[in-house]
Structure 1
Amino acid sequence: MPPTSTRLLHATRDYSAVNGIDSLDTPPTYSHFLKHYLEPNLPVLIGPALTAQWRARQQWVSPQTGKPNFAQLREQLCTEPVQVPVADCQCKDFTDQKRSTMDLQEFLDEWEEHSRTNTPSRTYLKDFHFVKTFPAYGAYETPDIFCDDWMNEFWTRRTDVDDDYRFVYCGGDGTFTPFHADVYRSYSWSANICGVKKWTLFPPNQEHLFQDQLHNTVYDIENVDPIQFPNFHKAKRFTIYQQPGHTLFVPSGWWHQVHNIGDTISINHNWCNGSNLDLLVESMTSDLKEVEREIDHLKEMMDQDEWIETCQKLLLLNSGWDWSTLWNMCNTIRARVKMQQLGEDASLGTSIDMLLQDGVEIGRCLGFYP
C-alpha cells in the first residue's frame, strides 16, 4: 500500500555543514556515488575520464583550438534541415528567456561568426532533444553511475507523448541560463564537451531568500535589485568552473545559474530514481497546493471528484506533471524490475498503456482526499 502521508517519504537532509563541492579525478563506483552524493543530495564534479570515449568529445571539438569543430558539426548533423530550440539571452520572458526555433545550420553559421570575430553571443541552443532527433548517431553513452534513470526510462516508453529529458546545449561566450531549480526537482548531470561553464549553486531550503513579497524569484544572480530582494545576499552559494571534459552532478532542489565562458557545448540529462523520490513528491505536493490556493474560490461549486480532476489538470498544465504521471512512472519501473526478477523480457513496449491510472484514484490512495 502507498504511504498515507508524504512525510513518511521525506528523509531530512541537512546542508548547514556543506562547505564546498567535491571534485573527483577518477569516476566513482556506483556504491560510492550513491553513499556520498545521491543519498545525501550533494553535488560533485567528475574528471574527464568519465566521458573520454564519447564520439562527441572526439569529433565535435577541434584538437588544435579546443573550440567547436563547426565544419564537422555541419557535415554530420546538417545533411537535412533540422529545427532546434534557441533562447535569446538578452531578452527576458517572465522567468525565462525568450524562446524560438532556428535551423541548425543557420545557428552554427551565426555561432561560428561570433567565434571567429571573438564577439559575445546572445543566441543559445538549449534543451535540444538530441537523442530523439538523431537516434542512431551515438554521440555519447550515459555513464553507469547515472543509468538508474526512472524519468527517461518512463518518458521514452510512453505512447501518449513523444518526449524525453536528454539534451544538448550549445552557446557562445556570454550565453547563460537564468537562476532556477531543475524541472520536477529532478537530478541533472552536465558533461562539458568544450568550453568552460561557471556554475553558481545554492543548497536547498533557502528559497525564502530568493523571493520578493509577491513570490517572484530572482532572475539573474549577477543583477539583483537589493530593494526587491533584500535577503538574497544572505543565501549560501558555491561557485565552480567546469572545464572541458568534466561532468557535474547537480542534486535535487539545488538552485543554480550557469554562464558560458567561450564557445561551449554540453550534454545534459534530467533524471530521478528512488533516492530523490521523496523530493519529487514534496515538489509536486507544493505545486498542487499552489494550484488549490489559486482556485480556492471555485471549490464550493464542485463535487469532490470534479475538484480533484480540475486541480490535476491545472497541475499538469502548470508543472508538466500530476499524480498520474508520477504514479505511472513508478509503476513502470516496478513492472520492469518484476519482469527482470522473473527472468522475462524487461521491454514493456506499448504495454505501458495498461499501467496508466487515474489521478482521482491515486489521490485517494495517497491519502490526500477521503
Structure 2
Amino acid sequence: MPLHASRDYSAVDGIDYHEIPLTYPQFLRQYLEPNLPVLLGPALTQHWKARQQWVCAETGKPNFNILRQHLCPTTTSVQVPVADCQCRDFTDQRRSTMDLRAFLDEWEANSLANAPSRTYLKDLHFVQTFPEYGAYETPDIFRDDWMNEFWTRRSDMDDDYRFVYCGGDGTFTPFHADVYRSYSWSANICGTKIWTLFPPDQEHLFRDSLNNTVYDIHNVDPIQFPHFHRAKQFTVLQQPGQTLFVPSGWWHQVQNVGDTISINHNWCNGSNLDLLLDSICADLKDVEREIDHLKDMMEESEWIETCQKLLLLNSGWDWSTVWLMCTTIRSRVRRQQQQHETTSLPQADGPINGSDNSTQDHPIEAEAESFSTFIQDDKVVPRRTPIFDPPLVSQQPPLDLTISRVDAVLDFIRNDTSARWFLENVKGISLRVEGING
C-alpha cells in the first residue's frame, strides 16, 4: 500500500485566496493533503504583537524606533544573518553576519531616501534569539509541525525552523525549493512580496546538462536553460498581513516591493511525509553517484558511512534524522491516542474523508524542564530555543492515519539494508519500535 495517494498538478490554474481564515479540516482537505498553495487574509495574524508594534500605522512602513528599542540592547551586539542581493555565491547569495542595530540604521536610511536595498536579513532564528518576546503565535492550521516539534527537543543540538526576514525594496530570494522539500508558511508583517511559484515535477525544465538550476527567473540564459520557458508558473502578490502557504516541492522565487518584514516557518508532517522520504532517497542517490568512482576502494561499511556523512553535510539530514523525528512524533501521537481512549469518545474518520475532526482535544504536556538542556561537545548546555508545543487532536489528521504513515516510513528504513546497518552500527539506535514487528 503506498504511503500517500499520488498528486496531480496538471489541472492547477491559479492560487486560491481566502479572506476569512480556514478551519483546520478545510485547510487539510483542500490544500495540505493535495499539496496546493493558498493565500490567506490578514485576519489570521491581526492579533500578533509583531503586526501591532513593528509597523507605523500612518505609513505602513517598519517602525524602526520600536524595533531598535525592543530588539537592540544597548550593552551587547545582536549579530544577525544577512545576504548581499547583488552578489551571487553559487546557487545562493553571499552570506555574512551584521550587527542588528547597524542593519536597521542602514535599512532606515535607504527607506528615507526611497533607495533600493541590497542587504537582506534572512533566516533569523527569531524565537531562539528573542525567546521572551512573543512576537506571534503559530496559527492553528500550521501547528502540526513535526520539524519544529522534533528539532526543539533534540538532545544533540539547539535549533529550530522559525525565521524572520527583513529587507528593503528590491531585495529578493533566488529560485529554490525549501529545505528537505518541507512546507513553509510566510506571513507579511509589512510590505509586499511577489512570489513566483512552480508546481512540482518540472525540474527537468529548469536544470541544465550539468544539473545546475536557474538562479534568477528574471535573467535566464536560453542557451543554458532552453526549456525553462515551458515551465508552468503562478505569480502571487502578497500584501501586508497576508499569509502564504507554500507546499512541499514547489520551487519559487520571492521579490520584496518596498520595506518588508515577514515571519516564516519551515515544517512537515504526515501529509508530506512521502515527499520527504522521496527527497532523502534522491539526495542519497546524488551523493552515491558523485563518489561512485571511490566505491571499489572502500569496504561496504566505509562506503555506507561515508555516504551518510556526505548526505548530512550536503542536505542537512541522514537516516538517523528521519528515524528519530518519526519515532519522536509516533511516541507523542500514541500518548494522544491513549488519552483519547480514556474518554470513550469515538474518533471521527476525519476531514480527509469529508467530515470534521471533532474528537475532544488533549493537550500534551510540554515537559519544558525535560528539554531545557542539550549535549554539546560532551557537555550539558542550557537550551536557548523554546520548545514548540505539539498540536491538539483537532489540529492534525486522524491519529490512526498518522501512525500508519509513520510506520510505513519506519518499515521502509528497517527494510533498507544500508540504512539499518548505519543506524544500528554507527548511530547505536535500536530499531525496535512498540507495535511494529521485526
User: Aligned residue for 2:238?
Assistant: 242
User: How many angstroms does 1:172 deviate by?
Assistant: 0.1
Other-structure match for 1:100: 96
Q: Describe the shift of the 1:58–1:30 C-alpha distance in structure 2 as closer, same or farther (beyond 3 A).
A: same
- What is residue 21 of structure 2 aligned with on the other side? 27
The reply on whether 1:365 has 2:361 as its aligned counterpart is no
Q: Return the letter of the residue paired with 1:54.
A: W
Given the alignment, which residue of 202, 210, 213 partners 1:217? Answer: 213
> Any stretches of 5+ residues in structure 2 without a counterpart?
340-363, 375-409, 421-438
Q: How does 1:70-149 map to 2 (within 5 A)?
A: 70-79=64-73, 80-149=76-145
* Normalised TM-score (structure 2): 0.79
- Structure 1 residue 298: deviation in Å? 1.8
So what's the TM-score if we normalise by structure 1? 0.93
Aligned residues of 1:336 and 1:346 also touching (Cα < 8 A) = no
Tell me the equivalent position of 1:48: 42
Shift of 1:11: 2.9
Contact 1:88–1:123 (Cα < 8 Å) also in 2? yes
Change (3 A) 1:48 1:227: same
1:292 paired residue among 288, 293, 302: 288
Q: Are 1:257 and 2:306 counterparts?
A: no
Structure 1: which 5+ residue stretches go unaligned?
A: 1-6, 354-360
- Distance, in Å, in 2 between the alignment partners of 1:363 and 1:311 is 18
* Equivalent position SS for 2:104: helix
Distance 2:173 2:159 in 1: 21
- Taking structure 1 as reference, are residues 364 and 175 closer, same or farther at Cα in structure 2, changes over 3 Å only? closer
Report whether the alignment pairs 1:336 with 2:332: yes
Aligned to 1:275, what secondary structure does the other structure show?
A: helix
Partners of 2:12 and 2:98 in 1: CA distance? 42
Task: Please give the root-mean-square deviation of Cα atoms over the aligned residues, in Å.
Answer: 1.9
The aligned amino acid for 1:91 is: C
Aligned to 2:367, the other structure's residue is in SS state coil
CA contact (8 A) 1:201 1:255 kept: yes
Q: CA–CA distance in 1 between the matches of 2:207 and 2:335?
A: 46
Shift of 1:307: 1.7
Letter paired with 1:290? D
C-alpha deviation, 1:309, in angstroms: 1.2
User: Helix, strand or coil: the match of 2:158?
Assistant: coil
Select 1:152's aligned residue among 148, 151, 155.
Answer: 148
Report the secondary structure of 1:157's partner residue: coil
1:296 CA drift (Å): 1.2
Query: SS of 1:191's equivalent?
Result: strand
Cα 1:105–1:208 change in 2 (3 A) is: same
Compute the displacement of 1:81 (Å). 1.6
- Matches of 1:23 and 1:103, distance apart in 2: 38
Q: CA deviation at 1:9?
A: 2.5
**In the aligned structure 1, how far is the partner of 2:272 from the partner of 2:372?**
26
Aligned-pair identity (%): 74
Q: Which residue of 2 aligns with 1:347?
A: 367
CA drift of 1:345 comes to 4.4
The whole-number CA distance in structure 1 between the counterparts of 2:412 and 2:29 is: 32
Instruction: Name the CA distance, whole Å, in 1 between partners of 2:276 and 2:63.
Output: 39
The residue identity in structure 1 corresponding to 2:69 is: E
CA distance in 2, matches of 1:284, 1:160: 21
**Other-structure match for 1:231:** 227
Aligned to 1:3: none
**2:190 is equivalent to residue 194 of structure 1:** yes
Change (3 A) 1:363 1:350: farther
Deviation at 1:302, TM superposition (A): 2.6
Looking at structure 2, the residues matched to 253 and 233 of structure 1 have their Cα atoms a distance apart, in angstroms, of 19
**How far apart, CA to CA, are the structure 2 residues paired with 1:346 and 1:222?**
46
CA deviations over 1:241-297 (Å, ceiling 9, x no partner): 000000000000000000000000000000000000000000100000000011112
Q: CA deviation at 1:317?
A: 0.3
2:259 and 2:304 map into 1 onto residues whose CA distance is: 48
2:60 is the alignment partner of 1:66: yes
Aligned partner of 1:358 in structure 2 is none
Tell me the distance in 2 between the aligned counterparts of 1:306 and 1:325: 20
- Where in structure 2 are the equivalents of 1:293-312 lying within 5 Å? 293-312=289-308
Aligned residues: 357
User: 290-299 or 186-195: which moved more?
Assistant: 290-299
**Corresponding position of 1:12:** 6
TM-aligned CA distance change 1:352 to 1:65, over 3 Å: closer
Question: For residue 67 of structure 1, what is the amino acid of its counterpart?
Answer: K
